[in-house]
Each structure stands twice: as structure tokens, then as C-alpha cells.
A and B are shown apart, each in its own frame.
Chain A
Amino acid sequence: MLHSPVPSLTPQQRRRPALLLLLAALLLLAACNQPGQSAVASSGDGPIRVVTTVGMITDVVRHVGGERVQVIGLMGAGVDPHVYKATESDVSRLLNAQIIFYNGFFLEARMEDVFKQIADSKPAIAVGEALSVADRLASPQYAEHFDPHIWMDVKNWMVVAGKIRDELIAFDPAHAADYRTNAAVYLAQLQELEAWVQQQVATIPEERRVLVTAHDAFHYFAKGYDFEVFAPQGISTESEAGVEDIRRTIDIVVQRNIPAIFVETSVPPDVVEAIVEGAKARGHEIRIGGSLFSDAMGEEGTPEGTYIGMIRHNVETITSALWGE
């Protein structure tokens, strides 16, 4: 077999540098595709771009900000914030925003890192921090952390509304008057809501004030309105209810003769159904009193799609279920 004196390139070898170049170009492109940091000034006449997480916060920001803000809420109806992972479009929305409001206390557990990084370039406010330490409840499972479900007590949410107003004023002093007016109106509505809730709850006899739900989201409700709460699952929906958790809940339900138990819109109902069956097997009839909004509000456009509507629905459902029998 003849060999040529100078080794010539095979077709594969000839293609190799081109491939490398292509690869390098792709990598460069990917790097360039990082959404750039936007350094947009707060002045200007356009509405402020605000990004929020759960619907309850979105609702407040819309009320307090009015026409001055353009709000995008990342988590809609029925979305579970404990396990929510930001997509790339979410991240670009966050980067494009001028101010961000989120709950904090690890409600949006999987987004904490994102918020920390973003806080370097723009205001990212954890509204839960507005609560005084005395008002915060410790998480039953994680001693160093707080229970994040603060919106269940309307009084807390009034504090949060005030915080949002103050932050908007700080960001956009030019329209401070608007924010103050809007906030005042909304706070008045919240005050009315609070009074109504207290009145409703008062109609339930004391021994009946036991709220059994799927996950442990109602401690602030319990504190604010003098209830007891039990739940087989922990504070976060990520935790799985074990056999013992369910059995204990059934024990409580049977011993305390509780007439109704509640499912949640953002949590699968099978745990609650298992409790109902288990109680039935012990001869105690318990029914599902209704569906509560815990981590998310109802569909947009419906009454339950607002914070006030959500609380009203919850309290009505709880009251009628526990009061009736």
C-alpha cells in the first residue's frame, strides 16, 4: 500500500476546526443571552413595573399602586408557592422589573436565591419583614424560621399594605399622595373585613373552633381569631404526610368530635379524604366542609380572586361547616 509523504487530512479532520468554531460561537451566544442588568431610573411618566409572587400580594399592590403601577404576579390561582420553581421567563420578568414584592419567610422556598441575587440591583422587598417580631409565629417544624402564612390574619395584612405603600412612596416620591389615598381606601376595606370576620367567628361555639386542614397554613388565623388548628402535613407542602401524621389527626378528629374538615385549593385532597375514611371506620362521621384558599387565591375575575374575597370565602365556609351541626 502506498503512503503519501505528507499526511493529507481526512474529511473528518478537515471538519474538526469548523466544528470547534461552531461550538465556541454557540457558547458565546448563550453567554450573551443572559438577560442584561437593567438600570432603569425611577423617574419618567410610565407606570412602574412591579413583579410580585403570590396573588395576595399582587392584589394589595394593585390596590395601593393603582394606575401608577403595572403588576405582574408570578403565581396564579391554584399554584403552590412552597414548591414553585422560577422559569426563565420568570427570571427575565424579575430582571425587567423595577421593584419586587415577595412574601419572605421561605414561602417561595425555591426562589430565595433568586431574590437575594436580585436585591443587589433593585429593591426586592420581603413584605413579611414588616411584621413586628412579636406578631410573627415560629414555624412548628423549623425552630429558626417563621411560619410564612401571615395573610391569614387580616390585621397582619393591614401592616403589609402599609409597608407596600411606604415602599412605593420611597421608590416614587413624586406620587406619594396617590399612594397614600389608595392605601387609605384599601385599609378601610381591610378594617371592615377584620370586623366582619371577628363577628362571624363569634357565632361559632368555643369548643367547635377547631380547624383541620391538609397542610399547616392556618396558625395565624388561629392566633388572630381564637381557633385551634391541626394538619397532618407540615408547614410546607413539600413534606409528605406519613401514616402516623394521619392517624394522629384522625385521633384528634374523633376525640374532639369535630364535624368538618377542609381541603385546600392548592393541595391535593387525598390526605383529607383518607382522614375522612379513617374517621368513618371508627364510627365518627366527618364530612368535607369545603375548599379553602390557603396559599393561593381563586381564579382571576371571580370574587375569590381577590384577597378580600378569598378571606370572605374561607370564613364563610368555615363558619357554616362548623356551626351547622
Chain B
Amino acid sequence: MDSLFDFLLLIFTDYTLRTVTLGAMILGLVSGLLGSFAVLRKQSLLGDAMSHAALPGVVIAFILTGSKAPLVLMLGALAAGWLGALLVQLVVDQTRIPQDSVLGIVLAVFFGVGLVLLTWVQRQGSANQSGLDTFLFGRAAALVMRDVWAMAGVGGAGLLLVGLFWKEFKLLSFDPDFAATLGFPVGLLNVLLTTLIVVAVVVGLQTVGVVLMSAMIVAPAAGARQWTDRLDRMVLLAALFGALAGMSGALISSLSRGLPTGPMVVLCASLLVGISLLFAPNRGLVGAWLRQQRNHRQLRRSAVLEALYGLALSHGDATHAHQLGAVRAAIPGVDVRRTLAALESDGLARGHGGDLWGLTPAGAEEAQRELHRFERHGLDELPTRPSSYPFSAEIDPAEVVK
């Protein structure tokens, strides 16, 4: 293998690598973007359910037309996925079964039907039916530019719709009841959004297959959520993560023989999620752990400072030294020695030899400050005199408060 630069250049020059990488990137982008809404609406399972529900659609499309053209099979997948989504909505609306249960049931039933049909077709002995089951696992490496154009077209239409209906989708995802009272047709918007997600699933089916598609709907969005609190940034970041996973997965799978592309893409997406879960600044686990450690350190310092101060006060001298044991007795459960060493290196305490420890003048000041810190935090601010109501004439506040 030549240099890294030559390898990266291959992405542009080599047809196969270029096609597969582009296809995987489009898949990642579209599923990240549309999957964000599924995740935010607590419908993460929807991607899984829809991709499994697509299987009978693929098989029936083949049975009806006898053709294995990708467009035909994708239309079949779209129809079945869409039917499944409608069924889910219907059952949720009409019964008390919770949504995740319904999604699971639809997933299992549709997929089971699909498998039965698939097995039946395979046994018919028709010489043309092979290859339907590749929809189960995807065949990313066998993409040709024609497929990529189809993915780009369908995906692009979906992205355009999201851009157009941005505020409607945001409102729908946050507070559908409120949206209804504003006059928005919530049912229709629901159908639109779900259809877009089904489209994303179908676009990705040929690349990563039924079983793995659910990961692509969920992972980029889940990872993106960790890094931002703004919806627009989250959705863009999810699209970016998806595209990144697609690209890296395709590239890595091209490094050696026999590496399947679909699973590699999903692995890369999972890696991004893992990193996001651990290392995102505000919501990441590592950050939270570090903050907690810092807080505990602060608390220990305060406790030791105050203990030393309290002990010293009885002698009238804030810097009076005391035995380590005395300090320990004052604040059980704290690693006093370690904290004292840290305080010493900060110039707030001093060891006088033989396990005697006392505050320095700076330390005494700090201890005093700590003791009064609670007084600094005022109560939550009370509203001041009500300002004039913006939409009508000025009113006298005195008249308002009886």
C-alpha cells in the first residue's frame, strides 16, 4: 500500500472506491438528518421497524413484476415500510398499547411475513429469484453510479422537505398538542415526517441492509445530541456524523479483502456515538466524572479549611497548628492528609512537622471567605413591578394587585 495521500487520492480516481464512498456518505447524511427527528420524537425504534417491515415489500414487488431492478424493489420497500408506519399509528391511536410495543410487533410480523415469502420464492425453483435476500444485509461494494444518483435524488428531495417544513417539524416534535391548537394538521405532518424516515430507510437498504439500517437512523443523531443544545446544529451535526461514518466505513472496508462495507459503516457510526457519549463537553460521561471529581475536591478543601479555622479559633489565632488526628476527628470520612498536602502546595496551609498542621494567613482569609459564601447567594430574584402589558393600554400596577 502506497502512502496515505495516494490512498486518499484513490477516492477520486478509482471508480469503485468513489462510488461506494459517495453512496455511503449519502446514506449517512440522509439517515443522520432524518433520523434526528425520529430520535427526538422517541421513535428510535422506528428505523428498525421500518427497515424490517420493508422486506415483504421487496419480495412482493419481485413476485408481482418478476424484476429485480433496484428501483422496483425500492418502491416495494417504500410501500411496505409506509404501510407499516401507518399501521403503527393506527394501532397506537386506537388502542392503549404503548408505541414501542406496537413498533416491535409490526417489526416482527412484517419481517416474519417477509421471510416466509422469501423462502417460498426461493423454493419455487425459478432461476431468477436469487439475490432478494441481499436486501437483508446490503451490498454496498456492488453499488454503481446509477444507484448513487437514485439515492442522491431521493435523499435530496427529503432534505428539501425538511428545510421547507423546518419549523413545522420542530414544533411537531416538541409539542404536537400545542401544534394542533395553532391550527397545524398534526396528523398530516406526522405522515409526512414518517414518510421521510421511511424514505431514508429505503435509500440505505441497499447499502447496509435491513438488519443494520436501524443503527444508521439512530446513531448519528444520538451522537450529535451530545454536542449541542440547538436543534439546527444537532441535525447538521448528525448529518455530518452520518456522512463521516459512511466515508470512513467505505474507506476502511476497502483496505483489505473480504471486509464488508455495510457493517464497517455501522461500526464507524457506533464509534462516533461512543466517543460522543464519553467525551462531549457538557453531556459526556468523562466530563461529568471530571466535574464531579473537581467538586469533591473543592468540598474537601473547604471542609479542611473550615475545620482548621474552627479549631484554631478556640486558641484565638487563626494560624494555630493542630494535630492531624484532631482535624480528622472534626471531619470524618475525608482524606485529610492528601487535602492538606494540596492546600500546602497552594500556600493555604503549612505543615509544622510531626503531623502538626495549621493555616497560613492566606489560608485563614480563604477559610473566612468560605464560611460566608452562603450569604452571597441571594434568593431567586423576585419579579419587580410588573411592566406594562405590551398589547394594551398602560395600566396602573396598583390597580392590578388587589
Contacts and interface: CB of A to CB of B under 8 A. Distances in A.
A contacting B, Cβ–Cβ less than 8 Å: yes
B298 to A, nearest CB: 53
Q: Find the residue from B122, B127, B145, B255 having the highest chain A CB count within 10 A.
A: B127
B295 interface: no
A238 B125 CA distance: 19
B254 A247 contact: yes
Interface stretch (A76-84, A111-119, A315-323): A76-84
A240 B119 contact: no
Contact of B255 (A79, A244, A299): A244
B16 A250 contact: yes
Interface in A245-265: 245-248, 250, 265
A278 B16 contact: yes
Interface string B217-250: 0000000000000000000000000000000001
Given A79-B125, A274-B142, A242 B16 contact: no
Interface residues of A, number: 39
A87 interface: yes
A242 B128 contact: no
A278 B19 CA distance: 9
The 9 A-B residue pairs with the shortest CB-CB distance, nearest first, are: A268-B131, A76-B125, A281-B15, A78-B127, A243-B254, A270-B142, A240-B260, A274-B142, A277-B144
Contact of A244 (B140, B143, B256): B256
Interface string A71-100: 000001111100111010000000000000
Interface of B: 14-17, 19-20, 68, 119, 122-131, 133-134, 137, 139-145, 250, 253-262
A172 interface: no
Interface in A171-193: none
Nearest to B131: A268
16 contacts: A76-B125, A79-B125, A240-B137, A241-B141, A242-B141, A243-B16, A245-B258, A246-B16, A247-B16, A265-B128, A268-B134, A270-B131, A274-B144, A280-B15, A282-B15, A296-B127
A268 B139 contact: yes
Contacts of B139: 240-241, 268, 270-271
A65 interface: no
A271 B126 contact: no
Nearest to A273: B144
A78 B15 contact: no
A269 interface: yes
Interface in A14-52: none
Given A76-B125, A247-B14, A271-B142, A242 B131 contact: no
A85 B119 CA distance: 9
B128 A274 contact: no
Given A269-B131, A270-B131, A274-B142, A239 B16 contact: no
Contacts of A84: 122
Given A267-B130, A277-B15, A248 B122 contact: no
A266 interface: yes
Given A243-B261, A247-B17, A271-B141, A266 B256 contact: no
Nearest to B132: A268
Given A244-B256, A273-B142, A281-B15, A266 B250 contact: no
B8 to A, nearest CB: 15
Contacts, number: 118
Given A79-B122, A268-B142, 6 more contacts: A78-B126, A87-B123, A243-B259, A267-B130, A274-B19, A280-B15
Contacts of A248: 257
Nearest to A239: B258
B24 to A, nearest CB: 10
A282 B119 CA distance: 39
A83 B132 CA distance: 13
B253 A242 contact: yes
A269 B129 CA distance: 11
Contact of B253 (A83, A243, A278): A243
Contact of A240 (B124, B125, B141): B141
A268 B137 contact: no
A234 interface: yes
Nearest to A269: B131
A135 interface: no
A270 B127 CA distance: 16
Contact of B257 (A78, A244, A266, A271): A244
Given A242-B258, A242-B261, A268 B130 contact: yes
Contacts of A80: 122, 130
B15 A243 contact: no
A278 B15 contact: yes
Contacts of B140: 243
